[in-house]
Amino acid sequence: MIESASEQPASRDGISTQELRRKAAAQPDAPLFIHPECGCATPALWQAGAGELPRARILSTGGMLTAARSVSSGSVLVATETGMLHQLRKANAAVSGEPVNEHAVCRYMKMTTPERLLRCLRDGTHEVFVEPDVANRARRAVEAMLAVGA
């Protein structure tokens, strides 16, 4: 059982609390953007509350892009899937996006490719049907997340 965020085990392609702490200490002036779906988000909140990550911000993908546009220059530490770095560079070329873990790759995000999306739209494959009451509850949850990130 993990007693504190500092005891979270390291992962090959995940982001550990040790990596967060080490990167934040190495670049104390750099903002730290953490995606809420990243496995490190909950321990990061604990670390931020303990004062270990004072520049940490939990941000949606859109929130990261908006925040990156407001940074004048320098580095931004990014705790999420490394594919996000390209989007951050496009949002603000004056900012250097630094991954907390350069091997952090989300296999689920890589499952959707332009080719698969086109095939799905063109052929109507992989259509998902959801019961109306489940869809309504899910819609409320997504809308609440969007409201927090706005």
Write out the H or E segment, with its range, that includes residue 78. strand 74-79
pLDDT at 149: 64
From the number of C-beta atoms within 10 Å of its C-beta (0-12, 13-18, 19+), residue 57 rates as middle
Find the helix or strand (DSSP H, E) in which 147 lies. helix 132-149
Tens digits of pLDDT across the chain (150 residues): 233 344 444 444 678 888 888 998 999 889 999 888 887 788 888 888 888 888 888 888 889 999 999 988 888 999 988 888 988 989 999 888 899 988 888 777 777 888 988 888 899 887 778 899 999 999 998 888 888 765
pLDDT at 4: 37
Q: What is the pTM of this model?
A: 0.68
Question: Given this model, what pLDDT does residue 31 score?
Answer: 92
pLDDT at 9: 40
Whether 30 and 94 have beta carbons less than 8 Å apart is answered as: no
